[in-house]
Amino acid sequence: MRTTRVALTVAAAALGPALLLSGPAFAAGPAAPSTAVAAAAPTDWSPDVPVDDLSDDDVRVALFRILGDPDSGKRVTKEVTALLESGDIAQARAWLKTGYALAQAEDDRVALFRILADPDSGKRVAKEINALLDRDDPVEIREWLETGYRLAQAEDDRVALFRILARPDISDALRAAVTAVIDGTPEEMRYFLEYGQYEVDA
């Protein structure tokens, strides 16, 4: 299992842009949907609405909403696009009932492997991802990508900031900048580690 996981992680790192998926917390999402697609997506539809209660038009709108969702990954997007092109409402209903969850689960697993392959992913992120992959619970994985990833990355980033403070050659300006951001938001810490620290001593 771990050998296969290592191989998949290496593959995810190598493929990089070819596996573009949204990372609910820090990763870049797919290209924004067209205006027409975005306009077709209402704000009151969700996967919790029983599919059998939807009209044919509602089914089509549901597909457009999924297509316009930044959390929709490569497999979900591919399958929704095929359904819209086919115009088969019965097939679309069946997909909304079962296929959507399966496609989203696959995209989420790929997202985990991509995060695991990211050199910026620290110990807590890697530990939590490995535990998620061991349990392989699609609901738990989705929840972690939506909220847990941000928190785990923030803890790893805070550790990285403390390591910067521990450098014997740290400048006064960099020390002050790190001290100012170390209790900030996860997004502020991530930005500082990616860009801010290099601007201080530039």
Average pLDDT of span 6-12: 43
The per-residue pLDDT for range 76-125, each reduced to its tens digit, is 999 999 999 999 999 999 999 999 999 999 999 999 999 999 988 999 99
Q: Rounded CA gap, 57 and 43, in Å? A: 15
Pick 2 or 16 by higher pLDDT. 2
Q: What are phi and psi of 54, to 5 degrees?
A: -90, 140
Instruction: Report the chain's mean pLDDT, rounded to a whole number.
Output: 82
Asked if 200 and 177 touch (Cβ cutoff 8 Å), the reply is: yes
pLDDT at position 23 is: 42
108 neighbors 142 (Cβ within 8 angstroms): yes
What pTM, to 2 d.p., does this model score?
0.71
- Mean pLDDT of all residues in 130-139: 97
Contact 138, 112 (CB under 8 A): no
Mean pLDDT of 22-35: 38
Sequence-ordered alpha helix ranges (H) in 69-144: 74-86, 89-94, 100-117, 123-135, 138-143
Query: Which tops the pLDDT comparison, 173 or 35?
Result: 173
Task: Report pLDDT for 47.
Answer: 63
pLDDT of residue 202: 64
